[in-house]
Amino acid sequence: MAQRLEMDPVSGRAPLILGGTSFDGLTEAVAAPMERTDWRKWWMAFAFSLSLLGLLLVSISWLVWEGIGIWGLNNPVGWGWAIVNFVFWVGIGHAGTLISAILFLFRQNWRTSINRSAEAMTIFAVMCALIFPGIHVGRVWMAYYLFPIPNQMAMWPNFRSPLLWDVFAVGTYFTVSLLFWYVGLLPDLATMRDRATTRARKIGYGIFALGWRGSHRHWQHYEIAYMILAGLATPLVLSVHTIVSFDFAVSQLPGWHTTIFPPYFVAGAIFSGFAMVLTLLIPARVIFDLKHIITIKHLENMAKIILLTGSLVGYAYAMEFFIAWYSGNPTESFAFVNRAFGPYAWAYWIMVSCNVITPQLIWFEKVRQSPMILFILSIFVNIGMWFERFVITVTSLANDFLPSSWGYFRPTIWDLTTFIGSFGLFFTMFCLFVRFLPMVALAEVKTVLPEANPHYEPPDDHGGDSDTLAAAEVSHA
């Protein structure tokens, strides 16, 4: 590829942003699509997402009105799609936090092109996730019992229950992610405010920009706040899914009660999250003409993480089987043999094919560099990771200790509509995001341009560009 040979004149490495884009060009590339007037395609996408969101609301209303029985749950299988969807969505969120926090701390500059959308994805995924534990309880109107609210009964929730830990873990995660995202947005919101051509935009962005003027003090505080939040978010990447995995690991059900769950869940979460980032960004970079910002290299990097985490997940699958056998515990080994060969074998093999076999294709450079193949592959991973949670949740419950109580879970139409509806919420939020907020972190991405480096010298033009100066200050800070 010709472009790749063109090195960054300062670092001597391949440039992260292609096409010799200037600061202004970047701003234009990201902000202009939000300011255009022809939104017909967007409206179509939005209407579609909104109708799915409506489906979610209908499903939830019917659920609250009629009862949990509208789902396919039964006596042995007390948790079904709701919990599967919850873990699925929480897991997806993890990629965003990993990209924005961990990769930030590790100075992985390539993250700047994708962190904004990945973080947005995190927020929306966690919103989707939060719905499910809320609605899956039998008496939704009493769900506040889960919160440690002082009350006349002098009753605390049960702090020994992993479900309670979940409440705290996911709640914290959502709060920190939202703050982190918002702080990162501030300079860009100000840019949007300054570019605004309508009064509504001016006021709207103005309010949310919190009076950002790009002063040195602002930048200094911003950088510190961003760093602290990145530091806070980093452990959450590990802790949230660890605690979600405790929902299973702390119980004594064969197939749930495993010490490998925390790392296994975290790896799985990052795996699924990156797949979802690919699913979203591969079309977006085409639609919004951001191919020079979200480059093949970005996709390739993400694909490599998918390969790594996918292999970790595959290792965990194998290790579960080994330990089940090695433990000598007959119910434990039964649970795993049953997964692979029992009534749910179909689900298990879907999971294995999607999660273990498919990612191995990423070893091939051609696959890594083909957005189309990566897109398809990411869909496979999404499916596989949903099935992973299904296999863990449902197969373990359906066939546990007493064969007399074994059952089989069959989803109903309402299981399906609730799940599809949650995508409605996700895409509705994403549609609003791409319309009103810069999809790429402008302020951050500018810092990785060669021009932002103090040692950068424009090849022919020595004129002091104000954008260059501002960015240079950023990198000093």
Q: What residues make contact with another protein under the rule CB under 8 A?
A: 66-69, 72-79, 136-140, 142-143, 145-146, 155-158, 160-164, 167, 247, 250-253, 329-331, 334, 337-338, 341-343, 397, 399-408, 410
Given the complex with another protein, which of 407 and 458 has the nearer CB atom?
Answer: 407
Which of 250/383 has CB closer to another protein?
250
Long-range CB contacts for residues 104-107, cutoff 8 Å, separation at least 24: 104/226, 104/230, 105/230, 105/231, 105/234
The single-letter code of the amino acid at 475 is: S
What's the chain's length in residues? 477
Query: ∠ CA 229-235-239 to the nearest 5 degrees?
Result: 130
Kindly tell me which of 333 and 447 has the beta carbon lying closer to another protein.
Answer: 333
3-state secondary structure of 50: helix
- Kindly state the tokens that stand for 226: 């961003």
Least distance (Å) from another protein to the CB of residue 89?
Answer: 18
Cβ partners under 8 Å of residue 436, min gap 6:
34, 204
Shortest Å distance, C-beta 377 to another protein = 32
Three-state SS at 71: coil
Burial class for 339, CB neighbours closer than 10 Å (0-12, 13-18, 19+): buried
**Angle formed by the axes of helices 23-35 and 466-476, to 10°?**
100
Count of alpha carbons within 13 Å of 240, Cβ hemisphere only? 34
Sequence-distant (6+) residues with CB within 8 A of 127 are 174, 425, 426, 429
CB of 239 to another protein, least distance (A): 18
Q: What's the min distance (Å) between Cβ of 349 and another protein?
A: 14
Which of 76, 450 has the CB closer to another protein? Answer: 76
Closer CB to another protein, 130 or 167, in the complex:
167
Residue 63 C-beta-side C-alpha neighbours within 13 Å: 29
Give the contacts of 349 (CB within 8 A, at least 6 positions apart): 340
Q: Which is nearer to another protein, 140 or 361 (CB)?
A: 140
- CA distances for 132 relative to 80, 121, 173, 415, 421, angstroms: 11, 17, 16, 11, 11
Q: CA 82 to CA 71: how far, in whole Å? A: 9
DSSP state of 155: P
Q: Which is nearer to another protein, 332 or 444 (CB)?
A: 332
Q: Is 22 helix (H, G, I), strand (E, B) or coil?
A: coil
Of 51 and 158, which CB lies nearer to another protein in the complex structure? 158
Give min distance, CB of 406 to another protein, in A: 5
Contact 41, 316 (CB under 8 A): no
Of residues 138 and 463, the one with the C-beta less far from another protein: 138
Closer CB to another protein, 226 or 256, in the complex: 256
Smallest gap from Cβ 62 to another protein, in A, equals 12
The torsion of the CA quartet 334, 416, 376, 267, rounded to 10 degrees, works out to -50
Beta carbon nearer to another protein, 141 or 199: 141
CA distances from 301 to 50, 274, 277 (A): 33, 10, 12
Smallest distance from another protein to CB 173, Å: 18
